[in-house]
Structure 1
Amino acid sequence: MEVCRNVAEQMSSYNQPWGIAGGWAVDLFVGRKTRGHEDIEIAVFRDDQHILKNFLDGWTFEKVVSGELRPLGEEFLQLPIHELHAVHETSGKRLEILLNEVENGQWIFRREPSISFPQQQLFKVTSEGIPYLHPAIVLLYKAKMSRQKDDADFFAVKDLLEKADRKFLQKSLEVHVPGHRWIGEL
């Protein structure tokens, strides 16, 4: 999980909420690497996008628009754009950045705005101090077009979730992807 430690070190003086996302967030929650990973993503709040961009001085940014990478200017990105790719200009390190919606102290699921989660609980922190996106939120994103690796993440996490988080995920799946195979497992 060295890649997570490296990102946490890079972000250590960033003074806004953030956390490792995707499959690495699952591994941080479980406490061990459960499978291979192709990339690393972080989640931040949409309103903090310019703060993050200024913080990551020496990185170039592209936005994902309709599945294609396009140069990012100084504009403030609105939905449906929610993903940035950053590349460090000298080291070539890559980082995916996922923009998250927050309103009135609640994280709002961009795919289904009726689903929300307390903003203060969105990021958890490992014993090493590495912040990561709550695993129930990670799984909610992974459910829409779940692949074998997403199923592996689900089964690595489901029995470790607190009862309230399992209930949140179950109800959210019922709204977002009714009939999903994970619902019966929760």
Structure 2
Amino acid sequence: MTWDPAPLSEVVTLFSQVRAPWWIAGGYAIELAVGHAFRAHDDIDVLLLRRDQAAVQEALPSWEWWAADPPGTLRPWRPGEILPPAVHDVWCRPGPSAPWRIQVMLDESADGEWFSRRNPGLRRPVAGLGRLSADGIPYLATEVQLFSKSGRPRPKDEQDFTAVLPVLDAAQRRWLADALGTAHPWHDRLIVIPGR
């Protein structure tokens, strides 16, 4: 399946009218934290809370939306359909012959708190889930993004970790170390997170 990721500026424009909180995620979130581009991207990710999933259809009303049903099957997402908890990703494109342009990820929340679907005991207030770039672009908090990339890190995840580690403050490092210690106590990143 062909991807031609939408430019960051286009994604920000498309989602700027969404009333629900949303954040740039994935590799672009890391680059926003670092303050400059440092690698190529195969896609572009936007994170929304599952409760706000209808905002995808509102932001991209003339696009196609495809739910990624586990274990890796894409199917059309019907207008107004509530996606089941097992669906965490939605692939979006402007039309049937167009390449995929945006991937939307759905994360969990309850009572004003975000929680990890991989480890529901790992929580934080939704209000603290994102940051704003120097240009005012909302992006997923770096420590949360690094945690989500830590399960089975790929070479690009290692590159992201190395690039962004110097810009993490002590609180972000502590949160990441605690999260990794809880979910992945074997993780080798635990020994390289200074200032925790």
TM-score (normalizing by structure 1): 0.93
Report whether the alignment pairs 1:77 with 2:96. no
* Distance 1:91-1:25 versus aligned 2 partners, 3 A rule: farther
Distance 1:91 1:156 in 2: 36
Query: Aligned letter for 2:121?
Result: S
1:128-170 per-residue CA deviation (whole Å, 9 max, x = no partner) reads: 1111111111111110010111011111111211211111111
Structure 2 matches for 1:37-116, cutoff 5 A?
Answer: 37-65=41-69, 66-73=71-78, 74-89=80-95, 92=98, 94-116=101-123
Within the candidate set 26, 37, 40, 1:36 is matched to 40
Distance 1:173 1:3 in 2: 31
Gapped regions of structure 2 (runs ≥ 5): 1-5
**Contact 1:4–1:130 under 8 Å retained in 2:** no
Paired residue total: 185
Distance 1:127 1:159 in 2: 17
**Contact 2:18–2:58 under 8 Å retained in 1:** no
- List structure 1 runs of 4+ shifted beyond 4 angstroms: none
Give the secondary structure class of the aligned counterpart of 1:24: helix
Distance 1:45 1:125 in 2: 17
Structure 2 matches for 1:1-186, cutoff 5 A?
Answer: 3-65=7-69, 66-73=71-78, 74-89=80-95, 92=98, 94-186=101-193
TM-score (normalizing by structure 2): 0.89
1:96-141 per-residue CA deviation (whole Å, 9 max, x = no partner) reads: 0000111112110011101012211111111211111111111111
**Contact 1:5–1:130 under 8 Å retained in 2:** no
Distance 2:152 2:65 in 1: 26
Deviation at 1:91, TM superposition (A): 9.3
Query: Aligned letter for 1:37?
Result: H
Give the secondary structure class of the aligned counterpart of 2:171: helix
Query: Aligned letter for 2:138?
Result: P
Distance 1:57 1:165 in 2: 36
Distance 2:133 2:28 in 1: 12
Deviation at 1:21, TM superposition (A): 0.5
Distance 2:97 2:9 in 1: 17
Distance 1:122 1:5 in 2: 21
